[in-house]
Structure 1
Amino acid sequence: MSLTGYKREDGRWGFRNHVLIMPLHQMLSAAARDVEESATGAVAVSHDWSQVIEKDHERIIHSLAGNATNPNLYATIFLSLGTPIEDEVINRAKSYGKTKLVNLTLSNAKSIDNLTAQAKSEAIKLVEQAKAQLRVAAPISAISLGLECGGSDAYSGITANPALGVASDKLVGQGATSILGETMEILGAEHLLAKRAVTAEVGQQIIDVVARYERSINYEGIDIRGAQPSRGNIEGGLSTLEEKSLGAAKKAGNAPFTGVLEYAIAPSKAGLYFMDTPGHDIEQLSGFGAAGVNITVFTTGRGTPTGSAVMPTIKVATNTQMATAIPDIIDLNSGTIADGTQTLEENGQLIYNLIIDVANGQLTKAELGGHHEFNLSRLYSSSL
């Protein structure tokens, strides 16, 4: 199958050519959404950051700057107040890539109405420029794939997750990058992933990241092993955390783990990686976006419409009943494996094919539904 994309000046590849509207203060989120509605082809995000200096300051700066320079973006328009802390985000973004960046400040515009009008004019101009850029032939190694699951059920570990693992292995085998996240989701299975590490050091890093996560949860007085699986997981047929984790890990196929990434940090070379992310779906997608992931496959047994502003998100159903009940949010059904009408390899090939089709421009159900959720991940309370 042939692949096309947008070659970026920094050597990365994008499969979308969006103009992102990113507010750098929560009070400008409504203005960002207003710009999106007036400039077809632009996408906006909103968040709750009010620029207070938090313990998570570096994590937030990196997340904002990383998403603003995702390779799927032609340009990013920052809406800012005009403060030094916002300059920190913008300067960080400039250091990450060659994405065209425009900063419009409230201090110069004098009013939110003026700022919004300026942003609308700039967005319309940039969208037209983006439309003029042509796709060119791209190698499979251009793909940076995010592996996610949410609303897992008893079928997750025997249908969609291992089928996604088949697709991931095919991509990694051709020089692509694949990133598995959700630290909570591999509790009890970390030793199996560590055995697949390219070096003993990487294997120990996987063990250490999971241990660090469990220590932080225990410090808060939470028994994570007793709190998981979630109510939705149990209603879907999962009985233990270990069962859930073993199933979640199958998204990563059988390829060796090249390295371990901190949240929202981009890998330095191709291969399969584990990223330390929260289990929260939107925070995980935001971490992937900041790390340069340009397409994500999201398996689900209970159903979720969640998408991303910076990357297409493919939804794969674990069971036919759910895929049939909510076809407006599901892109592909892996329940056919349990139904006996497809083999694991056959369904995995379909996921692989769909990844290529979506990379080539086919819209996902999340994109068609306007789902481009975004959230900032915090480890600490934001109160001072």
Structure 2
Amino acid sequence: MADTFMGFRRKNGSVGIRNQIAIIPSVFCSAKVAERIANQVPGSVYFRHPVGCSQVGEDLEVTAKTLISIGKNPNFAGVVVVGLGCERFSPYELADGIAPANKMLETVVIQTEGDSLAAIQKGSKIAREMQQIASRQVREEVPVSELMIGLNCGGSDMTSGLIANPALGIASDKLVSQGGSSILSEITELIGTEEILARRAVNKEVANEIRETIFRTEEKLRRQTQNSSNKERTHLISTGNYAGGLSSVVEKSLGSMKKSGNAPFSGVIQYGHQPDKKGLFLLDSPGHDGEVSTGEVAAGAQIILFPTGRGTPTGFPGIPVIKITGNPKTYSKMRENIDINAGQVLTGEKTFEQMGNEIYQEILEVASGKYVKSEVLGHDEQFCVTRLP
């Protein structure tokens, strides 16, 4: 019998694990108004960003698709779009893109309302009414196949690839084997693994897409590092990674891929898009923690799983980020930020299988309503829309 969790069934059939109201500015000019609306309405979250205008071509298109897809994520019962009124990415286009998700949806435009104070007043009233409606919805039992998790990491050290990532891979495999979905990303940290990952593709077409995705990133990094005026800026891993015991990007990549376990890859997702089937996917994204999480949430992930060897407190608005460390010392120092101490494998207290099952059970509990530490502490730093050159 398949595992289940308690979630919020949406009108379009999708399932959310949180029931919040998203306040999404269509342009950076309306970000403060969106923030002040959210601050007045408990149970709402806002999405500050620096984009939506002075962009052209595919760069603007990626912004549009990402913001639309964030609004469609099933963790949000309703969305208030906040626009300025003269931006390139129209607030009405953003709202029209979200509309097929069939959720509560309204648009507030500052220039139409008269000023920012009037827009805050109107937006707050709308969000409060949405929140009252959302509060009456109750969780129901749903199969684990309704879950999609995003796999991310940051502040990696040598224990990440040796302990935390492989343990997470076991949990990911367990979810995918029951019809759920999982997303591996951070292409800059998969360099050198393309053939290993391609061998796990469901067919030759997906295998070629995996290779091409990683090759494109390699070529981009080659161009960027060749013309750098400061050789210290050409390192492909951070100083913190070096200090944590990692020697090169290839070593980091071999550990990073372990997050995805051993399941076959069903496809490659482009940034800002959602897959049309279930399974394990590769998301074409840079290695920046925020851009990765944002792309995974845009793809439909309701939870982010985040191994961190050195430790990081960051979170995502409206999306629980489960922090895992393979380093017992990091857990001891940052236990208020880290949810799972996978370092128990390193100390011999638990096996990989036991730790993988613990992570999987944590996924089910969080999906059913348990708050993770980044949520309790109000961390929301990981929302960051990627930009194209």
State the TM-score, normalizing by the size of structure 2: 0.94
Amino acid at match of 1:46: R
State the match for 1:91 in structure 2. Answer: 96
Determine if the alignment matches structure 1 residue 9 to structure 2 residue 11: yes
State the match for 1:281 in structure 2. Answer: 289
Quick one: percent identity of the two aligned structures? 37
Alpha-carbon contact 1:197-1:203 (below 8 Å) kept: yes
RMSD over aligned Cα atoms: 1.6
Determine if the alignment matches structure 1 residue 78 to structure 2 residue 86: no
Amino acid at match of 2:194: E
Unmatched 5+ stretches in structure 1 = none
Could you tell me which of 295, 310, 334 is aligned with 2:303?
Answer: 295
User: Helix, strand or coil: the match of 1:340?
Assistant: coil
Range 215-224 or range 33-42, more displaced: 215-224
Could you tell me which of 314, 317, 320 is aligned with 2:322?
Answer: 314
Range 239-248 or range 23-32, more displaced: 23-32
1:56-77 CA-to-partner distances (Å, cap 9, x unmatched) read 0110000111101111000010
Could you tell me which of 57, 61, 64 is aligned with 1:61?
Answer: 64
Unmatched 5+ stretches in structure 2 = none
State the match for 2:213 in structure 1. Answer: 209
Could you tell me which of 114, 121, 132 is aligned with 1:128?
Answer: 132
Amino acid at match of 2:329: Q
Could you tell me which of 252, 255, 262 is aligned with 2:260?
Answer: 252
Amino acid at match of 2:247: S
Determine if the alignment matches structure 1 residue 102 to structure 2 residue 106: yes
State the match for 1:358 in structure 2. Answer: 366
User: Helix, strand or coil: the match of 1:138?
Assistant: strand
Which residues of 2 match residues 1-384 of structure 1 at below 5 A? 2-55=4-57, 56-83=59-86, 85-86=89-90, 87-95=92-100, 97-222=101-226, 227-373=235-381, 374-380=383-389
Shift of 1:226: 6.0
Range 127-136 or range 367-376, more displaced: 367-376
**CA spacing shift, 1:363–1:314, aligned 2, 3 Å:** same
* In structure 1, distance between residues paired with 2:351 and 2:179: 25
Shift of 1:173: 0.3
* In structure 2, distance between residues paired with 1:301 and 1:231: 13
**CA spacing shift, 1:379–1:53, aligned 2, 3 Å:** closer
Alpha-carbon contact 1:67-1:310 (below 8 Å) kept: no
User: Helix, strand or coil: the match of 1:156?
Assistant: helix
**CA spacing shift, 1:145–1:50, aligned 2, 3 Å:** closer
Alpha-carbon contact 1:70-1:310 (below 8 Å) kept: no
Range 107-116 or range 81-90, more displaced: 81-90
Shift of 1:21: 0.8
* In structure 2, distance between residues paired with 1:140 and 1:2: 5
Shift of 1:109: 1.1
* In structure 1, distance between residues paired with 2:113 and 2:53: 20
* In structure 2, distance between residues paired with 1:3 and 1:135: 9
Range 302-311 or range 243-252, more displaced: 302-311
Shift of 1:50: 4.7
Shift of 1:29: 1.3
